[in-house]
Amino acid sequence: MVATLETTRAHLGTRVGLHPEVEALPREPLERLQLQRLQACLCNAWDHVAWHRERLRSAGFTQAQDLRSLADLQRLPLMVKSDLRDHYPFGLFTRPVEQLARLHASSGTTGKPTVVGYTAQDLSTWADLMARSLYAAGARPGDVVHNAYGYGLFTGGLGAHDGATRLGAPVVPMSGGSTERQVTLIMDFGARVLCATPSYALAIAEVAEQQGVDLRKSALRVGLFGAEPWSEAMRLEVEARIGLRAVDIYGLSEIMGPGVACECEARNGLHGWEDHFLFEVIDPDSGAALPDGEAGELVITTLTKQALPMLRYRTRDITRLARAPCACGRTHVRILRVTGRNDDMLIIRGVNVYPSQIEAVLVGRPGIAPHYQLVLERHGALDHVSLEVEALPSVAPADYGRLAADAGHHIKSLVGITAEVHVMAPGTIARSQGKAVRVRDLRPKAQPAP
């Protein structure tokens, strides 16, 4: 059974968050704190990174102190991922690398990786925010945290790890893979909190079922799932299969790592931690700022990051912001669940489609397992979509054709595209051990102009 807000509040008491002095801070002092920190952040960037200084000068600043209000933020130019790549590896750092405490990197599909650096203070802030996120999700000191995020250059593993440690929760540093062993240790160690990508959580659930282990009878109470967009249908599926409360967490290495924002017990958007970040939504085409409530691209500015300040960074994630008070008592902005990444958006015969829309239709449909892959091809001049989905083990192969027709019909009417659906035997589609690969785009790439 999934706890309601009321029963969860009764269980947790009236305290607002791990850091109630900031999490419930009224908007006015919160915004004063933001302005102070933004000014300091801008000075740090101006003083130590020539590239920032030049861009700010081009935007009409004669000194960092020209920023007088939060509204002045709009005067700053936007940053994109390739800015980091163009200054590979350390060109946008404010400190010499020997003064840093850690480096992380994310591999791009093309070219050089994106490298991010942290001072000891940055790592401490990150641990605080991840601990705050774990607490908001319902984790408590003493809870065994089973951490199945990948350890390594990816920020997920170490980020969740340090946050659990800061919370005072014993952490099991599993990383991804060895799924049978994950199931055994979840049961034997009495894990109460699971950290993983949602697709990997599902892979763990599936292996447990194959082993005859009922995770719903485990001590698991809360799951923090992130690092890939996922649908409400997937949330219900994960909750039903594992028997925990599934909470959405958000982060990205360019800004910090996991723990930039997290759902609270109300699960009505993810609280973006505004004492350390500024959140805006812009029109992805024009770059113009959009009012709260309108969907667009999320842009984040770091307020306290020392080694790598990021000014108006375009995340590519499509979402909406809500600043109305939350039932939990926190005053920080709510980022409504990310529906997809701009980069993930597919244009299929002129229709804009996010893989998460397909997921929302498929997951939970009778007879169909929550594993799928989209294959895009070009047949002549036209896009051709095939969708591989798996049947549940209980479905007879004779019924696959009927299931396929049914799924195709719902995708046509709800998403607006025609897809050739193939229902496949259980276990056919590759399982992710980290971020799921949902799309194989085999369409020819546009040829560069000669």
| Residues in contact with Zn ion by the rule CB under 5 A | 264, 266, 326, 328, 330
Q: Which is nearer to Zn ion, 328 or 421 (CB)?
A: 328
Closest separation between CB of residue 262 and Zn ion, Å? Answer: 10
Q: Judged by CB, which is closer to Zn ion: 266, or 375?
A: 266
User: Residue 340 CB, nearest distance to Zn ion (Å)?
Assistant: 23
User: Least distance in Å: CB of 252 to Zn ion?
Assistant: 21
Looking at beta carbons only, is 26 or 450 nearer to Zn ion?
26
The pair of three-digit structure tokens given for residue 190, joined into one six-digit string: 């009495």
User: Judged by CB, which is closer to Zn ion: 3, or 345?
Assistant: 3
Of residues 266 and 336, the one with the C-beta less far from Zn ion = 266
For Zn ion, the closer CB: 225 or 400: 225
- Min dist CB 391 to Zn ion, Å, is 39
Q: Closest distance between Zn ion and the C-beta of residue 130, in Å?
A: 17
Q: Scanning the structure block, which residue is given the tokens 């199931």?
A: 183
> What is the token pair recorded at 7?
């029963």
Of residues 283, 333, 246, 299, the one with CA closest to residue 79 = 299
Q: Are 337 and 319 in contact (CB under 8 A)?
A: yes
Interatomic CA distance for residues 325 and 342, integer angstroms = 28
- Nearest of 257, 308, 247 to residue 79 by alpha carbon: 308
User: Which residue lies nearer to Zn ion by CB, 2 or 266?
Assistant: 266
Distance CA 121, CA 127 (A): 10
Q: Which is nearer to Zn ion, 330 or 371 (CB)?
A: 330
Cβ 395 to Zn ion shortest distance, Å: 40
Which residues have CB under 8 Å from 195's CB, separation 6+?
A: 145, 146, 147, 148, 149, 156, 160, 164, 223, 224, 225
Instruction: Report in angstroms how near the CB of residue 328 gets to Zn ion at its nearest.
Output: 3
For residue 17, the minimal CB distance to Zn ion (Å) is 9
